[in-house]
Amino acid sequence: MIPAAFEYHRPKDMDGVLAVLKEHGDDARVLAGGHSLIPMMKLRMADVPHLIDLQEVDGLGGISVADGRVRIGAMTTQADIIGSAELASAAPILREAALQIADPQVRYMGTVGGNIANGDPGNDMPGLMQCLDATFTLVGPDGTREVEARDFYEAAYMTDREDDEVLTAVSFAIPQGGYAYQKQKRKIGDYATAAAAVQITRAGDNCAAASIAMTNLSDTPIWSEAAAEALIGTSVDEAAVDQAVAAMLGDIDPAQDNRGPVEFKRHAAAVILRRAIARAWSRA
């Protein structure tokens, strides 16, 4: 399909972006890589009279690792993540997840900020950022503020970002221990039927800390605190994993769609989480 008519803006700096947002309010949307927003416009799921392209705005890209934290600019592409040796060393789960997003053509244009800010429950980065306890930086007319990833998502395509704000960066502490991002999808390029992000820290033979988040199994990404707690203090044996899976299944709320009925999605979620826990524990 063809999107409805819109006016295209390409400001040179953030002041220009904010000026257009202030002038047009919720009639304006920012465009990063375009792989989340443009399909919605084509399907007439989003009516955007004013489209603001961020490609020429300086300072929105780049990856830095310093003082125990990782910072990723919103315009950083998935290909940038895959190609960063520094990031692969500090937070390898990012590369593992990015390699499973769509296909190379999409990854060369799709950005971290666009994947996060749109509020699409099928996107991979929101759940991963919740797993990593990331912080999102938002810039608006009143200045800069930070929002925790675990507080950002309110419903499908609804977030804590105000209409006149732009997500400019994400940051998180360098994760410790083992990691895994497991994803089940129908074909290359598709959204996940179910995906799990897991980080596990080991102390001796037992799990000292864990974080678990699930993707495309509710209206928002699901950080399952109860699932992580079921592993802590255990040797991550079969009984502990069973409890973690049961806790996760109690937190998600999948809906039937063209990826399958609810019971299939719950089954897929359980299988994917078991695989992710096993892989993360083997790396811990």
80 and 128, same domain (yes or no): yes
CATH, residue 85: 3.30.465.10
Q: What pLDDT does residue 102 have? A: 87
Last-in-domain residue among 143, 173, 203: 173
Residue 179 within a domain: no
CATH, residue 230: 3.30.390.50
Residue 186 within a domain: no
Quickly list DSSP for 116-175: HHT--TT-HHHHHHHHTT-EEEEEETTEEEEEEHHHHEEETTEES--TT-EEEEEEEEPP
116 and 198, same domain (yes or no): no
Q: Is the pLDDT of residue 1 over 80?
A: no
CATH, residue 35: 3.30.43.10
Tell me the mean pLDDT in the region 176-189: 94
Tell me the mean pLDDT in the region 202-210: 98
Q: Which residues span the domain enclosing 71?
A: 63-173
Last-in-domain residue among 32, 53, 74: 53
29 and 92, same domain (yes or no): no
214 and 252, same domain (yes or no): yes
Residue 184 within a domain: no
* Residue for token pair 């500090």: 90
Mean pLDDT of the chain: 95
* Residue for token pair 């996940």: 192
Tell me the mean pLDDT in the region 263-271: 98
Count of domains observed in the chain: 3
128 and 200, same domain (yes or no): no
Distances (CA, A) of 54 to 39, 144, 241: 18, 18, 44
Name the strand (E) or helix (H) holding 24.
helix 14-24
pLDDT in tens, 119-149: 999 999 999 999 999 999 999 999 999 999 9
106 and 156, same domain (yes or no): yes
Tell me the mean pLDDT in the region 247-274: 97
Residue 185 within a domain: no
Percent of the chain exceeding pLDDT 90 equals: 87
Q: What pLDDT does residue 35 have? A: 75
Q: What pLDDT does residue 148 have? A: 98
Q: What pLDDT does residue 34 have? A: 77
Q: Model confidence at 48, in pLDDT bands (50, 70, 90)? A: confident
Q: What pLDDT does residue 39 have? A: 77
Residue 140 within a domain: yes
95 and 168, same domain (yes or no): yes
Residue 34 within a domain: yes
Q: What pLDDT does residue 59 have? A: 93
92 and 129, same domain (yes or no): yes
38 and 107, same domain (yes or no): no
220 and 268, same domain (yes or no): yes
Rounded to whole angstroms, the Cα distance separating 236 from 22 reads 51
